[in-house]
Amino acid sequence: MSLRRIQLHPAYVLHHRPYRDTSRILELFTRDHGRITVFARGARGSGRKGASPMSMLQPFNRVLVSWTAGADAGTLNAVEFDGGYSAMPPDRLVSGYYLNELVLSLFARHDPHADVFGFYAGSVDSLKLQADPLPVLRVFEKRLLEAIGYGLSLNHDAGTGAALEPDRLYRYRLEQGAVEAQEGADDPMVFPGAALLALAAEQLDDPAICQRVRLLLRAALDRALEGRELKSRQVMMALRRTT
């Protein structure tokens, strides 16, 4: 089988683990090649000048990578920063790892999604800069669901076709969409029209609305994950219980 060489391609490290004495196995999210696995041989050593390879090959750094692609895993040849460098604040790391785990769990290797790469990159930048990470996570979840074919219908009543009204309640059925509910405000799958419309418009600055739509997005993601558990989600829940 002939090997392909890909030169200086935009990527993020989703996950890495040791391999033998000085190397690592990297799970990368690339713009045009999707998720890939590469061996970074000797990557745990120090570079001769500038940043060491492993200081660059960390999650949330946007890098340019060159690799030789094989049938399954490839071999990393070179890495450099793609533009400026900014660290993820420590209190945002769990949120960032949550994004990574969603991509790892919901996308097969070698399945390119340039659009997802774009809003993943924007979400990482927003987590580094914005005061509240929760709207960033909710919008990422919404767009990710759309990208994998599990998008939510958020503007119209699935029963009548009428536009949703902000002051009415709607029961959301994942297989169907929103249908008007006469009662059931305590039902976790009943939502104010205002909350569904805010999610549709990706305007989640209101903390109460952001918290409300989390329940809907969680249910939709659980359906897509088909029972797979996310470790980062468990960590976030544990942190909420201690604060």
- Helical ranges in 87-230 per DSSP H: 93-106, 114-129, 134-147, 193-201, 207-225
Instruction: Find the mean pLDDT for residues 51-75.
Output: 87
Q: How confident is the model at residue 19 (pLDDT cuts 50, 70, 90)?
A: confident
Residue 47: the pLDDT is: 41
Each residue of 30-51: b (16+ CB within 10 Å) or e? Answer: bbebbbbbbbbbebbeeeeeee
Gap between the Cα atoms of 114 and 116, Å rounded: 5
Gap between the Cα atoms of 209 and 200, Å rounded: 12
Pair 172, 189: CB distance under 8 Å: yes
Pair 178, 158: CB distance under 8 Å: yes
Beta bridge partners of 190: 171
* Coil/strand/helix, residue 212: helix
Provide the pairing of β-strand 34-40 with 74-81: parallel
CA dihedral 156, 158, 159, 161 (to 10 degrees): 40
pLDDT-wise least confident of 47-56, 123-132, 190-199: 47-56
Phi/psi of residue 7, nearest 5 degrees: -110, 130
Instruction: Find the mean pLDDT for residues 52-76.
Output: 88
Gap between the Cα atoms of 49 and 225, Å rounded: 43
Residue 22: the pLDDT is: 75
The residues, ordered by sequence, that sit 6+ positions from 212 with a Cβ below 8 Å of its Cβ are 191, 192, 195
pLDDT in tens, 110-163: 999 999 999 999 999 999 998 899 999 999 999 999 999 999 999 999 999 999
Residue 242: the pLDDT is: 55
Top-ranked range on mean pLDDT: pick from 38-47, 183-192, 219-228: 219-228
What mean pLDDT, rounded, does the chain reach? Answer: 89
pLDDT in tens, 173-187: 999 999 999 877 678
* DSSP code at position 162: P
User: Strand order of the sheet with strand 177-180?
Assistant: 177-180, 169-173, 190-192
**In the chain, what are the domains?**
4-81 (2.40.50.140), 91-241 (1.20.1440.120)
Each residue of 202-223: b (16+ CB within 10 Å) or e? Answer: eebeeeebbebbbebbeebbee
Closest CA to 141 of 221, 75, 54: 221
pLDDT-wise least confident of 62-76, 129-143, 148-162, 228-242: 228-242
